[in-house]
Amino acid sequence: MEIRNVVVDDYYKVFDVLNEWWGGRQMTHLLPRLFFEHFQTTSFIAQDNGSLSCFLVGFVSQTYPMEAYIHFVGVNPSLRKNGLAKQLYEKFFATVRNMGCHTVSCITSPVNEVSIAFHQRMGFSVSIGVDYAGPGQDRILFYKDIASEI
């Protein structure tokens, strides 16, 4: 398994599988090409023999420079529960820690029980953001202190 930083051309690999990996839900609008152009240093691809296995798109906050944010993570459904997402998260933690970040945050929908359980296993604290994405649009907020991890 090769893990590397994303490049612009990876956008098309991810775009082509995104909705399929989410069971047909329309997700491509949540991950525009700009992430593959502007956040290459903090975004990663895992691939096996050129085939996309997993990706993580994240960045360092401009407003809070000691905080990083994970925007989107996807794992090929046939490869889930193999530790790929954990590997990319750990790579992201190490990268942003070296950039001076002390915390990592991310969000998900309250119905995404798999994501909530994963983040809890990864040591994130969990809270609810009422109306976070607009009226009636609550989100689960994840927060992790990475400053002391090595």
**Domain extent for 12:** 2-145
Q: Could you tell me which of 97, 104, 21 has the C-alpha nearest to residue 67?
A: 104
Residue 73 lies in a domain: yes
Residue 150 lies in a domain: no
Q: Could you tell me which of 35, 77, 29, 38 has the C-alpha nearest to residue 56?
A: 35
Domain at 21, CATH number: 3.40.630.30
H or E element at residue 45: strand 44-48
Residue 115 lies in a domain: yes
Confidence band, pLDDT 50/70/90 cuts, at residue 50:
confident
Residues 83-140 pLDDT 10s: 999 999 999 999 999 999 999 999 999 999 999 999 999 999 999 999 999 999 999 9
Number of structural domains (the chain) is: 1
